[in-house]
Structure formats: structure tokens, C-alpha cells
Amino acid sequence: MSADRMSQSAPLRYWRVQSALLLIGSLLISTVAWRQSDPSARVERTASIPATVCPNLGGDARTVALLPSAATKIKDAKSRKINFAKAKSNPYLLSSGSIVVAGSEVSSTVIRSRAGKYTSATTCLIGSGDQWFVGGSGGLGSTARILVINSGLSTSTIEIRSFGESGKTGEKVIALPAVSQREVRVDSLAPGEGVVALEVITRSGRVSAFLFDQRGRGLNSLGADFVSSGEASQRLVITAIPVRHRGSAIQTHQLHLIATGARSAVVDVELVSDGSRFTPVGLSDRTIESERVTSLRLPKELGKRPATLIVTSTEPIAGSVYSSTGREFAWSTPSISLKGVGWNVGGLEPTITMVGKTVRVKALVKLRNGKTLTKNLNGAEVLQWKVPPNSRLIELSGLDSIHFGATWSSSDGFTSIPLNPGTELERATTPTFDLGALFG
């Protein structure tokens, strides 16, 4: 064959190869599209639980993390390393900074306390796009501060909006470098305000935010507690409001509410205490102005067992209950409705409050000696259950959705915590295709 004919056939062969490849590609695309629309196509489902952040504010208080187990993997929140290592102890003492805890179906909890002064608790959290904190103070004697933690490997941006009894007090935009944390004093956001509401909005990245309220007069401590975050809703269920400490009644209880939208809200408040449900005098059809914190005083005597407030509203609201003896205080915040919850109590003996249309819960308790106890808990609407001594892990599962909260009292002080999960299961769905269908 001459050189001229060879040079003429080369482009022809190239065109044929290209045409064949295009044909095969078209067949592949058509088959994939058909399989996607075919309900019998196989689907691969994956699920993972993201890591959470446990905060440490430093200072002279003792801070420990109650992890799912001593084998739980953790790492320093300020470390760029992606590798986790086993905690090896539980409770885990937070002696330096905050930590990141590998994802687990059992939430982790931070306990911060000073001997004879106060005890406080909060759930370790994954970052959230919009968090509301109703609590803390910008007044004299308060050292309340909000701790924001960026555990990611890129810069994050957040916006903090602050509100008081007089309305919006300001906003602050913060750029958080990778793997860093920052404290912001509440009195710098809302100076002089007796009660504050904060909205923390994550504009980029994933940031975990925590509010710690601490008060004193001179050298005298007046207590401290974490204020758990939540989302605005038209129905708030605030469980496990502490009513007694060291055998005496806690006589100061205040409900703080804010209408988070552009319109004012009309609310009704029901108190569930010692098996009775009623609306306290003056807490029906109350108007809560938009973007203003409204404080409502509750009865001095809330009963002998932890109380519950159910707040219904015409507009989205956020809220909390402040309970004080004058020397110690606690913030009780709303819980969300769950089918079940797991918690490593680390030897604590809290009283769990369960609220639902009906309460039918199975409790599984793992003791420190390795034994396991099971108990069926049944009640109408509200039920209290005290965790047995020497408990390590409790798992509560209900037939219906339940609001769970916990409170306990010790020689250091008293506190309340909603048993909300620190993170949620992240699911992904990926269709898979059998390319052998092309050939038979």
C-alpha cells in the first residue's frame, strides 16, 4: 500500500474508533438513566454519625466528659491531626482544652463544677446552622461568656445577635481560624441587660457554640450553669426543672421567652407538677414582643418532684427557666421529642423526667459491676424515674416519642439538662448499577 493511501485511511480509522466510543457511551448513559427510573434498581444506603465537640473553658473548675465508653476515640479540638485515639478513661478529665469525640449513638456530656460552689452540665454538640440561647446576663456581677469552637480545617464565619428586655442590643461577626476557639463576654454584647437571648448563626463552616453563665458578688460565688441551646418553635417542653436542693425548696423560678420572628407571639403556659397540670395565674394569653426578652415569674412552690412547663405559642419562640436559691442557680431549657436516648451517667444519680401523650419506656441500665438491669416505665403524660446507684450507662426506648430531661443535686450544687442528642445520623443514598445488563 502506498504512503498516500495509508495517510488517507488513518483519519478514517480514527473516525470509526471515535464513533464506536460515542455509541458505547450513549448506551451506558441510556442504561444508567433507565436503571435510575427503575424501582427495582439496587440502592446502596450509607449512614454515619458525625463527631461532636466537648467544651472546656479552663479556669479553676473541674471539667470532665462523660463519654460513651473508655474505648471512645477522641482528639484535641485544636489539633490539625485527623487521627483519633482511645480516651482510655471515663469520665475523661479535660485538663487542657476542648476535645472532639468520635460519633456515637450515645451522647457525651460535660460536667463542670467547683467544690461547694456550683455544678453544671451540657451536651457535647456538632455545629448547627442556627442556635438560640435564652439565658445569661450582661449585668454587674455576671461573667457569662459564649464559647465558639471551630474544629474544622478551614476558616468559619459566625454571626452573634444579642437581645435584651429593651430589644436588640447588637450583632457581632466573627471569623474563626481553623481548629480554634474563642470566648466572647456576654456583657460586651448586651451591657447592663439582666437577661439575654443570643442567636448564633453559622455563615460558613461548622461551629459548635456553648453558653456558660457564672455570677458572683465580690469574692462570693452566686453559682454557675451552662445554658443549653435550642431551636425556635411554637411549642416548648421544658422538662426537669429542679425544685429542691439539700432538702429545701428552690423558691425563685422565672420563665424567659422571646418571639424570634418579626411578629409578636401570644403564649399559654401550663405547669405540670406532682401529677397535676394547670395554668398558673397570669400565664394565659400573654403577649411576647418580637425580639424582646420577656420574664414571667413562676410560683414559688413547684412541688416536691421536678416540674415541667409546656408553652404553646402563635409564633416561633425560644425560652428557658431560671431557678435560683441565691447561692446557686440552674437553667432549664426545652427538650426535643425522641423515641429513645442513651447516656453514660458516670455514677450520677439523676432524676429523669419523661413527657409525652403516654409514657411507655423500657429502661436498660448497665451497672459498674457489669450487671444489667431492665425496667418498664409506664405513666400518663409525665413520669419521673431516679437512676439507680452505681449506674454507668442507661438506654431509654419508648413506644412513642418522648421528651427527656434530667436534673440532680449534690454538695456542689444542682443543675438541669435536656437529653437532646448532640448530633444526628447522616444518611446518604447511592444507586448502584449492574453494567452486565448491557450484555444480557
Q: What is the pLDDT of residue 13?
A: 53
Backbone angles phi, psi at 170, to 5 degrees: 155, 180
Residues 350 and 387 sit within 8 Å (Cβ to Cβ)? yes
Is the pLDDT at 178 greater than 90, yes or no?
Answer: yes
Express the helix, strand and coil content of the chain in percent, nearest 5 each.
Answer: 10, 55, 35
Is the pLDDT at 201 greater than 60, yes or no?
Answer: yes
Is the pLDDT at 21 greater than 60, yes or no?
Answer: no
As a whole number of angstroms, the distance between CA 16 and CA 14 comes to: 5
Q: What is the pLDDT of residue 289?
A: 96
> Which 3 state secondary structure label does DSSP give 175?
strand
Is the pLDDT at 265 greater than 90, yes or no?
Answer: yes
Neighbouring residues of 144: CB distance < 8 A, sequence distance ≥ 6: 136, 137, 138, 185, 186, 187, 196, 211, 212, 213, 214, 215
Secondary structure (DSSP) of 40-61: TS-EEEEEE---EEE----SSS
Q: What is the pLDDT of residue 27?
A: 46
Note the maximum CA span of the chain: 110
The model's pTM is 0.85
Is the pLDDT at 36 greater than 80, yes or no?
Answer: no
Q: What is the pLDDT of residue 301?
A: 85
For residue 20, give Cα distances in angstroms to 16, 17, 25, 29: 6, 5, 9, 14
Q: Region 28-54: what's the mean pLDDT?
A: 55
Is the pLDDT at 42 greater than 80, yes or no?
Answer: no
Q: What is the pLDDT of residue 434?
A: 44
Q: What is the pLDDT of residues 80-94, one digit of tens each?
A: 888 899 999 999 999
> What does the domain layout of the chain look like in residue ranges?
7-38+430-439, 50-424
Residues 355 and 403 sit within 8 Å (Cβ to Cβ)? yes
Q: What is the pLDDT of residue 127?
A: 74
Q: What is the pLDDT of residue 219?
A: 83
Peptide bond into 91 cis (omega under 30): yes
46 pLDDT band (50/70/90 cuts)? very low
Closest CA to 228 of 125, 382, 345, 137: 125
Q: What is the pLDDT of residue 129?
A: 84
In the chain, pLDDT over 70 holds for what percent of residues?
A: 85
Kindly report the average pLDDT of the chain as a whole number.
Answer: 87
Is the pLDDT at 337 greater than 50, yes or no?
Answer: yes
Q: What is the pLDDT of residue 303?
A: 87
- The answer to which of 122-131, 245-254, 361-370 has the lowest mean pLDDT is 122-131
Q: What is the pLDDT of residues 137-173, one digit of tens each?
A: 999 889 999 999 999 889 999 999 999 999 999 999 9
- The answer to which of 7-11, 116-120, 316-320, 428-432 has the lowest mean pLDDT is 428-432
Is the pLDDT at 242 greater than 50, yes or no?
Answer: yes
Q: What is the pLDDT of residues 361-380, one digit of tens each?
A: 999 999 999 999 999 999 88
Q: What is the pLDDT of residues 271-300, one digit of tens each?
A: 998 878 999 999 999 999 999 999 999 998
Residue of higher predicted confidence among 7 and 414: 414
Residues 119 and 111 sit within 8 Å (Cβ to Cβ)? yes
Length of the chain: 440
Q: Region 402-409: what's the mean pLDDT?
A: 96
Q: What is the pLDDT of residue 66?
A: 96
Helix (H) or strand (E) segment spanning residue 31: helix 3-37
Residues 120 and 221 sit within 8 Å (Cβ to Cβ)? no
Q: What is the pLDDT of residue 105?
A: 85
Q: Region 41-62: what's the mean pLDDT?
A: 74
Grid cell in block for residue 214: 457564672
- Give the Cα-Cα-Cα angle 114, 395, 355 (nearest 5 degrees): 85
Q: What is the pLDDT of residue 96?
A: 85
